[in-house]
Amino acid sequence: MRKKLLVLISILMIGLLAFTACETKTAPEGGDAPAGDLPLIGVTIYKYDDNFMSFVRRNIEKNAEGKANLIMNDSQNDQAKQNDQVDTMISKGVTALAINLVDPQAASAIIAKAQAADLPVIFFNKEPSAADLNSYEKAWYVGTTSAESGVMEGQIVVDAWKAHPEWDKNGDGIIQYVLLKGEPGHPDAEARTTFVIQTVNEAGIQTEELELQTGMWDSAKAKDLMDNWYAKHGDAIEFVIANNDAMALGAIASLKANGFFGADGKFMPVVGVDAIPDALAAIKNGELVGSVLNDAANQGLATFELALNAALGNDPLAGTKWTFDANKSVRVPYVGITLENIQIAEDSYAE
Ligand code: BGC
Ligand code: CA
């Protein structure tokens, strides 16, 4: 009886371990070397429950096939959990780390762990401060130039507003907007929020902010905010600007429940960032004015290639098409997306 219980407990514990850190053993190409000979790379995603990051993750996994074994972790939006995951991966013998921080300010804690184990670390998507990156020679970043996405989103707003004088519902020449912000302190959220409005203003269009709050990159949170804002401001809202598509789609869901995008032609312009497949569908059916391609395919590829090189002790850029800026960072360009050039985003997100 006692033996049976022990067996049961160990099965449960193994199950639990497999659940918290799932190791992807990929078969080597050609099958000549056993999978165990491939380098072991430790990866964290700040939370699996993030639309955009699920695409980056898939691209890392796809590129690792036959080239490396990954330990892939869901940090569940908990920095303390992520720190523990890094300790565990180091004790399992990873030779490189690829880290999507939970808290962009927590890079120094991860760097201390990597440095103590003499391991290279590639941060991706959540940009650490320049001071943190420069504090360790084996730390690098893969991401974007955050401001660029705000400028491009702003340009989409400008072009669409100019083409549709009827969107100025109160006829005052000013865009009355609500803005759904991503996670405060996240470089992408801060830069997009600033630059989208700055770009519109620099094009000579005045703006009036009716609401600005964080929807934490999340569809459901954005839907709740939009529900409240529409109840409060009604048709005084002339534009919905979101820091990402997940939130733009949440706002669209709320607007639909309020009679928009239906048979009677009630319309509200909404813009986002990422150009994820669901957003492309919304552009096609006229619910989303445009988005900005956040290139998950190339960010996943660059993250993996740098991590693989670093794991093998090579120069991180060896044999790749990437270059570093002055701040040890690979910057994958954004592309503004509307119906006219939607194919670019469709190709990028095609599996
Ligand atoms: C994306 C967001 C995502 C965030 C996660 C941003 O670059 O645009 O959709 O939630 O990264 O860190
Ligand atoms: Ca107006």
pLDDT digits (tens, 9 = 90+) for 137-188: 999 999 999 999 999 999 999 999 999 999 999 999 999 999 999 999 999 9
In Å, what is the CA distance from 316 to each residue of 21, 25, 140, 143, 319? Answer: 26, 23, 9, 15, 9
The three-point CA angle 188-305-328 to 5° equals: 50
Taking residues 318-328, report their average pLDDT.
98
Q: Is the pLDDT of residue 24 over 60?
A: no
How far apart CA 334 and CA 219 sit, in angstroms, is 22
Ligand 1 centroid distance, CA of 316 (Å):
24
pLDDT at 7 over 70: no
What are 177's strand-pairing partners? 209, 239
311 pLDDT above the threshold of 90: yes
How many residues belong to the chain? 351
Residue 26 has pLDDT above 90, yes or no: no
| CATH fold of the domain at 147-293 | Rossmann fold (3.40.50)
Distance CA 283, CA 165 (A): 20
Task: Compute the C-alpha angle 103/178/200, nearest 5°.
Answer: 95
Strands (E), the chain: 21-24, 40-45, 69-74, 96-99, 121-124, 139-143, 174-181, 206-214, 239-242, 270-271, 291-293, 329-331, 335-337
- Here the contacts of 122-125 (C-beta below 8 Å, separation 24 or greater) are 122/96, 122/97, 122/98, 122/303, 122/306, 122/307, 122/310, 122/316, 123/99, 124/56, 124/98, 124/99, 124/100, 124/299, 124/302, 124/303, 125/46, 125/53, 125/56, 125/100, 125/299
262-300: pLDDT as tens digits: 999 999 999 999 999 999 999 999 999 999 999 999 999
Ligand 1 mean position, distance from CA 255 (Å): 23
Token pair, residue 132, equals 């943190």
Residue 305: beta bridge partners? none
Domain ranges in the chain are: 31-144+295-333, 147-293
Instruction: Tell which one of 274, 291, 293, 295 to mutate to probe ligand 1, the residue whose CB is within 8 A of the most ligand atoms.
Output: 274
Instruction: Please give the single-letter amino acid code of residue 220.
Output: A
The class of domain 31-144+295-333 in CATH terms is alpha beta
The model's pLDDT over 217-252, given as tens digits with 9 standing for 90+, comes to: 999 999 999 999 999 999 999 999 999 999 999 999
Weakest-pLDDT range from 6-20, 123-137, 173-187, 197-211: 6-20
Q: How far is the CA of 17 from the centre of ligand 2 (A)?
A: 56
Is the fold of 31-144+295-333 the same as that of 147-293?
A: yes
Q: Distance of alpha carbon 85 from its chain centroid, rounded?
A: 20
* Per-residue confidence (pLDDT) for residue 350, from 0 to 100: 87
On the question of pLDDT at 14 being above 60, the answer is no
Residue 52: CB within 6 Å of ligand 1? yes
Pocket lining: 126 vs ligand 1, CB cutoff 6 Å: yes
Amino acid at the residue 142: V
The single residue listed with the structure tokens 């000549």 is 32
Amino acid at 204: G
Q: What is the pLDDT of residue 351?
A: 66
pTM as predicted: 0.90
